[in-house]
Amino acid sequence: MDYFLSEEQLMIKELAAQIAREKVLPVRAELDEKEEFPWEIMRVLGEADMFGLYIPEEYGGLGGGILENCLAIEELSRVCIAVSVSFAASGLGAYPILLYGNAEQKQKYLPPVAGGKSLAAFGLTEPNAGSDAGGIQTTAVKDGDSYILNGTKQWITNGGEAEIYSIIAMTDRSRGARGASAFIVEKGAPGFNFGKKEKKMGIRASATRELIFEDCRIPAANLLAREGMGFIVTMKTLDKSRPGIAAQGVGLSQGAIDEAATYAKSRVQFGKPIAAQQAIQHMLADMTTQTEAARALLYAGCKFLDSNPKSISKEAAMVKLFATDTAMKVTTDAVQIMGGYGYMREYPVEKMMRDAKILQIYEGTNQIQRNVIGLELIKEYTGKKEGVAVG
């Protein structure tokens, strides 16, 4: 379908597709098998200016919005979402600085991210705090011109590979979620170390590690916004980044359709291609319809988010929920259409199905997305503000 994208947006889509085709496709199976971080592809994306899509021009970016970033993520995801998550997670790590950093913080940290010289990462999740941000146990205590961080972050995408980390830590535990604050921590800060690289079901080329803070001393100037703003920083960051996960879902679904439809045309059973069987046609028809609906919602959602409305939580959650549930279903059906071949590692759809599952889990499980949508809906109908939940 033609979404009447601008010339610049089409340019972004085309270049991202070219990078996916020429640089990602030939190595995706190997990267998955070896669980190897795609540094060479990150370098290519950096040289192509892709990391700066959503960053203002004054900080070395291209001054685009969420839609521009999502177009690039979608095209990369059509080939490999382990690559696209490594790319997108740098945005997740940079958004807190972009949204809440002061002039010096932005000037120092955004240009290297925009140029792809440094990757960023976002550290929120802990062993006992995922969706419930109030359960964060990592602490930050002010000591003169420094903060001292203690605690462990878990399952951090780009952990160990990134140079710049946005970290949520408690400055006042008695206040629960309202006692959380956001900090910028650089790789190499004294007392900042990494745990082992996690072994995952899918997105194996991406790096997921623990971040370990043991009396980690950082300059007090690395506090983002004010003490107690950590929870707000987190929510606003996730509102901006969730469409990126949806874009992964849309791209991945499209990639699975590409494989399944091509296979169905060439696989002959009972004297004709299986694509001629109505059972297969109906599956492909549903996969395509659902994917197009997810894409339409994604683009519409991005345009709405980019218009800077007051509240975007509901829309961001809806986009993420629908596109990632779609990806799980479409990739599962792609394996089904390809039968035994689909289950073999020789073909890419088994990887796509393994990869898809994480989309329903990270950046807020799809159950949490439904909570967000439900809560916003109730607010709309009562005009009353209540509790909150984040991913």
Partner 1 sequence: MKIVVCIKQVPDVADVRIDPETNTLIREGVPSIINPFDMYAMEEGIRLRERFGGEVIVLTMGPPQAEAALREAISMGIDQAVLVSDRAFAGSDTLATSYTLAMAIGKLGAVDLVLCGKQAIDGDTAQVGPGIAENLNWGFAAYVRKIEDAGDGEITVERLMDDGYDVVRTQLPAVMTVVKEINEPRLPSLKGKMRAKKIEIPVWSSEAIGADPERLGLKGSPTQVWKIFTPEFRRKGELLQGEPREQVDRLVAEIRRMNIV
Tell me how far CA of residue 67 lies from CA of 33, 242, 301, 305, 345, in angstroms: 32, 12, 9, 9, 33
- 194-199: long-range contacts (C-beta < 8 A, 24 or more apart)? 194/159, 194/160, 195/152, 195/159, 197/35, 197/160, 198/155, 199/35
The verdict on 50 binding partner 1 (CB under 8 A) reads: yes
Q: Where does this chain touch partner 1 (CB under 8 A) — which range of 41-49, 150-158, 261-269, 328-336?
A: 41-49
The verdict on 261 binding partner 1 (CB under 8 A) reads: no
Q: Where does this chain touch partner 1 (CB under 8 A) — which range of 12-20, 28-36, 260-268, 380-388?
A: 12-20
What are the structure tokens assigned to 314, written together?
């509901």
Return the number of other C-beta atoms located less than 10 Å from residue 128's C-beta.
11
Min separation Cβ 28 and partner 1, Å: 17
Q: With respect to partner 1, which residue has the nearer C-beta, 47 or 143? A: 47
The verdict on 5 binding partner 1 (CB under 8 A) reads: no
Tokens 């740098």 correspond to 90
Contact characters 53-92, partner 1, x per CB under 8 A: x--------x------------------------------
Q: With respect to partner 1, which residue has the nearer C-beta, 72 or 356? A: 72
Q: Which of residues 16-35 bind partner 1 (CB under 8 A)?
A: 18-19, 22-23
Q: With respect to partner 1, which residue has the nearer C-beta, 20 or 92? A: 20
Contact 83, 30 (CB under 8 A): no
One residue of 2, 7, 145, 346 binding partner 1 per CB under 8 A: 7
Q: Where does this chain touch partner 1 (CB under 8 A) — which range of 5-13, 131-139, 240-248, 255-263?
A: 5-13
Min separation Cβ 79 and partner 1, Å: 15
Catalytic residues: 363
One residue of 5, 25, 48, 293 binding partner 1 per CB under 8 A: 48
Q: With respect to partner 1, which residue has the nearer C-beta, 13 or 329? A: 13
Q: With respect to partner 1, which residue has the nearer C-beta, 49 or 186? A: 49
Q: With respect to partner 1, which residue has the nearer C-beta, 69 or 166? A: 69
Alpha helices in the chain (DSSP H): 7-19, 28-34, 39-47, 66-77, 81-100, 103-114, 230-266, 278-306, 313-343, 349-359, 366-382
Instruction: For residue 89, report the phi and psi dihedrals to the nearest 5 degrees.
Output: -65, -25
- In order, the DSSP letters of 345-369 are TTSTHHHHHHHHHHHTTSSS-HHHH
Q: In angstroms, rounded to a whole number, what is the distance separating the alpha carbons of residues 348 and 79?
A: 9
Q: In angstroms, rounded to a whole number, what is the distance separating the alpha carbons of residues 359 and 326?
A: 10
Q: Where does this chain touch partner 1 (CB under 8 A) — which range of 9-17, 140-148, 159-167, 175-183?
A: 9-17
Cα–Cα–Cα angle for 370, 120, 57, nearest 5°?
A: 95
| Element holding 146 (H helix, E strand) | strand 146-157
Which residues of the shown chain bind partner 1 in the complex (CB under 8 A)?
A: 7-8, 11-12, 15, 18-19, 22-23, 44, 47-50, 53, 62
